[in-house]
Structure 1
Amino acid sequence: MRNIYFIVLFMLPLVSCSQTNTKETDTQKQLVLSKPEDTFTTLQFEFEGKPCVAVINKQYKDYKNKFMFPLSLFLKVNTLEKDKNEHPTEHEYLAFHELQTAIIRALSAEFTFCHVGATTMTGYRDIIFYINPKDQEKAVLVLNKFKADNKRFESYTFETDPEWEAVASFYEAVPANN
């Protein structure tokens, strides 16, 4: 059991959002240092009368540097193996987690971003990021490779959202940081 905890402690940083970039400028490094540590919380909600789940990075609740990341990036990942409610099976959860981790690593190698979280909807999942507009082309190159190689990865969309309004309802439901 102790070995499991040891493995989890050392693997978690690899699977969690490592939002650092080895090609960063000094200004970017200062910004990364001012970014909060990833701490996720689970929220349940309904969409079109069906149960859904959001796993949200609660450290961005009152994030002061939103202005540096005014472009939302939503990735839509289809659920291939579904239960009776069209939610992912256990195998599907693992496949989604592997894909999400690989995408986060690939994006992290290119630029700094905010990983807000993910939602599980009926038949699909969204992975939610906020990025700086100057990094949009880099994101497109990375995401197109994943999209071509993974049948689950359906699409991605960018929208200007300097106040993070697309995720505001999630942050209203997240308890205040202590």
Structure 2
Amino acid sequence: MKNISLLLLCLLPFVSCSQSNKKENTDKPTPTALKPEDVFASLQFEMDGKPCVAVINKQYKDFKNKALFPLSLFLLVNTLEKDKMGHPTEKEAAAFHELQTKIIRELSAQFAFCHVGTTTMTGYRDVIFYINSKDQEKTIAVLNKLKAQNKRFESYTFEPDPEWEAVTSFYEAVAAKN
């Protein structure tokens, strides 16, 4: 009985901390790297008559702090091994996810950001982020290093977009889907 009481006493702080963190995370979305509570929605659309897919982070659907992350960042990743529609093969998808995970890990070590999602188009994928303008130089340094290490990583572009207009149609489609 004494051992059980001691064990419970040791576990109590971990249980109470994890429950308070869960409440905090569900009240307000927090920009950062991919987190377990991120929920993504898959959307089908067409571009130039060809099928495309967007996987969008629903956490930012009604995000109130867009002004804190006014700079859009689109990363273009080439699809080297394609199926007949120009979409990635299973092997290529695994390579993409590995690269995306590495990018998210490297950026999250530097600063907070919003990972909106990815799009799969014929021959390439975009990874979409929103960052604070003050973090642009750090982002460039990280991305240039990663780009030099991976032949799939084609380019990146920054655009001022304080209202997140570039992804509005995705969030409208997510709302219509639910």
**TM bracket (short chain):** 0.7 to 0.9
Q: Deviations over 1:144-164 (max 9, x none)?
A: 011101000000000000000
Q: 1:82 — aligned with what?
A: 82
CA contact (8 A) 2:70 2:130 kept: yes
Q: Is 2:29–2:63's contact at 8 Å kept on the other side of the alignment? A: no
- Residue pairs, 1:31-42, within 5 angstroms: 34-35=29-30, 37-42=37-42
For 1:21, the equivalent position in structure 2 comes to: none
Matched position secondary structure for 1:175: helix
| Unaligned segments of structure 2, at least 5 residues | 1-27, 32-36
SS in structure 2 of the partner of residue 38 of structure 1: coil
User: Is the radius of gyration larger for structure 1 or structure 2?
Assistant: 2
Query: Which stretches in structure 1 are left out of the alignment for 5+ residues?
Result: 1-32
User: Please, what is the CA RMSD of the aligned residues?
Assistant: 1.6
1:107 alignment partner in structure 2:
107
Superposition map of 1:57-136 within 5 A: 57-136=57-136
Partner in structure 1 of residue 56 of structure 2: 56
1:34 to partner: Cα distance: 4.9
1:38 Cα offset (Å):
1.5
Give every structure 1 segment of 4 or more consecutive aligned residues whose post-TM-superposition deviation is greater than 2 Å.
175-178
- Offset at 1:176? 7.1
Deviation at 1:135, TM superposition (A): 0.2
Identity of aligned residues (%): 77
Partner of 1:171: 171
Distance 1:175 1:70 in 2: 22
TM-score when scaled to structure 2? 0.79
Scaled by the length of structure 1, what TM-score is found?
Answer: 0.79
What amino acid sits opposite 1:57 in the alignment?
N
In structure 2, what residue type is equivalent to 1:164?
W
- Alignment pair present for 1:144 and 2:139: no
| Conserved 8 A contact 2:81-2:89 | yes
In the TM superposition, residue 63 of structure 1 has moved relative to its aligned partner by: 0.3
| Contact map agreement 1:81 1:89 (CA 8 A) in 2 | yes
> What SS does the corresponding residue of 1:174 show, helix, strand or coil?
helix
Structure 1 position 175, deviation (Å): 2.7
Residue deviations 1:115-169 (CA, integer Å, cap 9, x gap): 0000000000000000000000000000001110100000000000000000000
Number of aligned residues: 146
Q: CA deviation at 1:35?
A: 1.6
The separation in 2 between residues aligned to 1:158 and 1:42, in whole angstroms, is: 24
